[in-house]
Chain A
Amino acid sequence: TQLLEQSPQFLSIQEGENLTVYCNSSSVFSSLQWYRQEPGEGPVLLVTVVTGGEVKKLKRLTFQFGDARKDSSLHITAAQPGDTGLYLCAGVRDTNTGFQKLVFGTGTRLLVSP
């Protein structure tokens, strides 16, 4: 069972356009991370959001954690070719054993053309 669904799965846009990627779940997460993966490399952490409703900005990228801590969004303003990559959300979930677990989303592949 995939706990974190991302949409869209693929996105191809022109340089300068805005876009939003969504990460949704029916489960509550204690925190949520966003990673970006470029071709031939491993994912790299962009941000961690912890509080429901929290908004974090990283240059042209804006990350929001849903009020109920079940979902998150990534908005990119004026996309550039350097933003091209696979974006992965990852939620930290409390398990019934009292421990925490990191669960990755299905991924959104973004292509920004010049």
Chain B
Amino acid sequence: EAQVTQNPRYLITVTGKKLTVTCSQNMNHEYMSWYRQDPGLGLRQIYYSMNVEVTDKGDVPEGYKVSRKEKRNFPLILESPSPNQTSLYFCASSFKTWGTGELFFGEGSRLTVL
């Protein structure tokens, strides 16, 4: 089954404790992206990747890091989480290089930073 898998689905952590949210897709998509979803703000792009070893900042990259060492994986790293990073995070992939085709989303990772 074609899918985007995120882990963990739910996480409660404390300020400053480094964490990684993993994302894996099995559709051989070149484009992958991370979004955060906050009430009234829709989906805002954090980082995206057009291919292995090619990543770039989205609209809200501060406080986040990513890596793309393999085509299928695109982890999101929070080096020193802060409460304003409490949010619902989605990983997405697309067959179109710029992600302007259909985006396939994971089920989301709800993060709470205390």
Would you call B100 and A43 a contact (CB within 8 A)? Answer: no
Would you call B100 and A92 a contact (CB within 8 A)? Answer: yes
Interface residue? B47 (CB, 8 A): no
Instruction: Return the chain A residue nearest B39 by Cβ.
Output: A107
Would you call B42 and A107 a contact (CB within 8 A)? Answer: yes
Q: Size of chain B's interface in residues, with CB distance under 8 A?
A: 19
Residues of A within 8 A of B4 (CB): 42
Q: Size of chain A's interface in residues, with CB distance under 8 A?
A: 25
Q: Which residues of chain B (80-114) have a CB below 8 Å from chain A?
A: 90, 92, 98-100, 102-103, 105-108
B24 to chain A, nearest CB (A): 14
Interface residue? A45 (CB, 8 A): yes
Would you call B108 and A106 a contact (CB within 8 A)? Answer: no
Residues of A within 8 A of B107 (CB): 40-42
Residue from A40, A45, A99 in contact with B98 in the complex, judged by beta carbons closer than 8 Å: A99
Given contacts A41-B107, A42-B90, A42-B105, contact A88 B42 (CB under 8 A): yes
Query: Whole-angstrom distance between the alpha carbons of A107 and B39 in the complex?
Result: 9
Q: Which residues of chain A (29-70) have a CB below 8 Å from chain B?
A: 31, 33, 35, 40-45, 48
Residues of A within 8 A of B102 (CB): 33, 45, 48
Given contacts A41-B108, A45-B103, contact A104 B98 (CB under 8 A): no
Residues of B within 8 A of A106 (CB): 40-42
Residues of B within 8 A of A2 (CB): 41-42
Query: Whole-angstrom distance between the alpha carbons of A35 and B37 in the complex?
Result: 14
Residue positions of A touching B, CB distance < 8 A: 2, 4, 6, 9, 31, 33, 35, 40-45, 48, 88, 90, 92, 99-102, 104-107
Q: List 6 A-B pairs, minimum CB-CB distance, nearest first.
A: A42-B105, A104-B43, A104-B42, A92-B100, A106-B42, A45-B102
Residue positions of B touching A, CB distance < 8 A: 4, 35, 40-45, 90, 92, 98-100, 102-103, 105-108
Some 16 contacts from A to B, beta carbons below 8 A apart, are: A2-B42, A6-B42, A33-B102, A35-B103, A40-B107, A42-B107, A42-B108, A45-B102, A45-B103, A90-B43, A90-B103, A102-B98, A102-B99, A102-B100, A104-B35, A104-B42
